[in-house]
Amino acid sequence: MSRRKDFEPSTNRERRAEILKTALKMNEVGLNQGSAGNVSLRIGDFTENNGFMVTPSGIPYDECTVDDMVPMTMEGLWSGKMKPSSEWKFHRDIYKDRPDVNAVIHTHSTFATTIACLGKDIPAFHYMVAVAGGRNIRCAPYHTFGSQELSDATVKALLRRKACLLGNHGMIVTGPNLKKALAMAVEVEELCEMYWRTLQVGGGNMIDDEEMGRVLVKFQTYGQFAPPMENDEDEYRPKLDPRKTHNPKVSLPKMRR
């Protein structure tokens, strides 16, 4: 499909700029390097315009322009001059599984990736682990990047969580917007660094489930982060009415595979 020149409502231009700004910021603060990692933002209104926009594949972010951001549908169709990130499947599947999520960030930050290469969950060694929505931060098993298997494992690891690690790969964080998702990425990286340091001297003391339950309740009104899920059972899935979410109503162009 040739590129549609009439597909630039102001809302989409603003969101392209927001995605690129976030990608540059995560590199600036040391969460990522070069063209590694990826950023996306949900667009649409859960009807015929439902979709998301994601960073392009294999281009250093400091060489990107706002026009390089790639709009996609939930069917995997895309439009524009650049191919979407090779990891678009887990972005798409997170949005399909989690109507509460409007932004996704994936990074290869140093300490999160170190713990991910050990295949370890982040346990309740510090109460701030609860900021990610539960009593631990899970690590999904390794799968080839860009594969459906990796996407499926990611969605499972994010069940009732706002962040997870990807085995031998990196981290993923989610949020209601890109600002909060980036703040979550910074928090998770700091937790991973602290946990790595505790592992050097024996692993530290763990906080018990009862106390973490109290922390999760207190986090319902904590700072800039959205409330954690209430139930800590793995089989729980959020049942939100997508009609009550607040996403921009924009039109997607005709797409290509």
Domains and CATH numbers, the chain: 10-226 (3.40.225.10)
Residues 91, 173: contact at Cβ < 8 Å?
no
Type and span of the H or E element at 12: helix 10-28
Q: Is the pLDDT of residue 257 over 60?
A: no
Q: Are 116 and 171 in contact (CB under 8 A)?
A: yes
Q: Is 14 a catalytic residue?
A: no
Q: What is the pLDDT of residue 223?
A: 67
Among 62, 57, 220, smallest CA distance to 133 is for 220
**Which of 19-28, 175-184, 229-238 comes out lowest in average pLDDT?**
229-238
**Range of lowest pLDDT (16-20, 40-44, 109-113):** 40-44
Percent of the chain with pLDDT over 90: 72
Segment 186-213 shows an average pLDDT of 96
pLDDT exceeds cutoff 80 at 142: yes
Question: pTM for this structure?
Answer: 0.83
d(C-alpha 164, C-alpha 175), whole Å: 13
pLDDT at 169 over 90: yes
Give the per-residue pLDDT at 36: 87
First to last CA, the chain: 9
Average pLDDT of the residues in 66-83: 92
Average pLDDT over residues 144-173: 97
From the list 8, 14, 28, 87, the catalytic residue is 87
